[in-house]
């Protein structure tokens, strides 16, 4: 397919995922998409176990009969949109700048080495954003852009051909860490995952609820990331480093640590799904860029 000229409005398939629990936020996010300038959007609102209703004109609805989990819900949405690019937006996120998408696409067009882009995330009320929204070990300033090795999944853009080559979001994960695997698989295409500190998406600061399933799925999916993507020799280093980190973090919260280790055991005992081992050259590139896949 010939490349679109710089003057051609880019075509973007947009997947908005929701369970219908935040109608005001969902409406805000969709309105911010419809306000985007100089782009052609094909938008689907995916109801994960919910029938989307009351959507504005120009937004399609896709009702899933049950909650399939976050990765699978996004993948189902991709099947119903067209466009040279894909943009994923959570139902409590929005775009404050009507030129966000055209500027983000402009970054991808200007630097073909970027295969996936995540913006800076800012609370719309001005509350201090949690550091976890900056997907770097050395966080630095939120406005600083850099290559990264995981993403906050609530607002990400990538070329559709890149997404298709990754195999999509990791459906077995259901929740947690799917942004790590997607980022790694972008790197495995010889591309980079990019944190764009100069672009902003809004998301309210909400303290995450820490329940037993949160810890269990985080641990299980850490193990599954290793089993799905790493050479056997690196698996114990990656899982071992995160096990040590969790033991230190959870030393004063025994119930949480017990739930985490239940997930850890589940990760080794159950089928993680498709295995696509990272190439040796990818591991070397990640290492040179400052993040070997052992932590």
| DSSP annotation string for 244-267 | HHHHHHTTT-HHHHHHHHHHHHHH
Q: What pLDDT, on the 0 to 100 scale, is given for residue 211?
A: 77
DSSP state of 94: B
Provide the whole-model pTM: 0.95
Residue whose C-alpha is closest to residue 220's, from 168, 248, 262:
262
Q: What pLDDT, on the 0 to 100 scale, is given for residue 250?
A: 85
Average pLDDT, 10 consecutive residues per value, the chain (295 residues) = 62 97 96 98 98 95 97 98 98 97 98 98 94 93 97 97 98 96 98 98 83 92 98 97 93 91 98 97 96 91
Q: What pLDDT, on the 0 to 100 scale, is given for residue 31?
A: 97
Q: What pLDDT, on the 0 to 100 scale, is given for residue 6?
A: 55
Q: How many residues does this entry show for the chain?
A: 295
CA 150 to chain centre: 8
CA dist list (Å): 119 to 34, 128, 152, 261: 19, 16, 9, 33
């Amino acid at each position: 397919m010939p490349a679109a000229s710089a003057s051609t409005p880019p075509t973007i398939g947009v997947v908005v995922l929701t369970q219908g629990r935040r109608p005001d936020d969902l409406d805000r996010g969709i309105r911010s998409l419809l306000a985007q300038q100089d782009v052609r959007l094909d938008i689907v609102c995916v109801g994960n176990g919910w029938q989307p209703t009351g959507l504005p004109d120009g937004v399609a609805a896709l009702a899933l009969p049950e909650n399939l989990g976050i990765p699978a819900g996004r993948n189902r949405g991709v099947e119903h949109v067209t466009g040279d690019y894909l943009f994923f937006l959570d139902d409590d996120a929005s775009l404050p700048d009507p030129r966000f998408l055209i500027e983000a696409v402009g970054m991808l067009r200007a630097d073909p080495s970027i295969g996936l882009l995540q913006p800076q995330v800012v609370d719309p009320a001005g509350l201090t954003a949690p550091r976890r929204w900056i997907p770097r070990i050395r966080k630095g300033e939120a406005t600083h852009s850099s290559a990264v090795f995981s993403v906050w999944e609530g607002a990400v853009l990538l070329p559709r051909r890149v997404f298709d080559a990754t195999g999509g979001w990791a459906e077995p994960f259901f929740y947690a860490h799917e942004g790590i695997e997607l980022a790694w698989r972008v790197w495995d295409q010889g591309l980079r995952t990019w944190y764009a500190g100069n672009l902003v998406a809004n998301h309210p600061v909400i303290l995450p609820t820490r329940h037993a399933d949160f810890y269990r799925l985080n641990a299980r999916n850490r193990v599954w990331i290793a089993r799905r993507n790493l050479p056997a020799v690196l698996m114990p280093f990656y899982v071992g480093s995160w096990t040590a980190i969790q033991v230190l973090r959870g030393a004063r919260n025994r119930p949480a640590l017990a739930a985490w280790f239940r997930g850890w055991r589940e990760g080794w005992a159950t089928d993680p799904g498709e295995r696509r081992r990272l190439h040796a050259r990818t591991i070397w590139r990640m290492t040179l860029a400052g993040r070997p896949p052992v932590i």
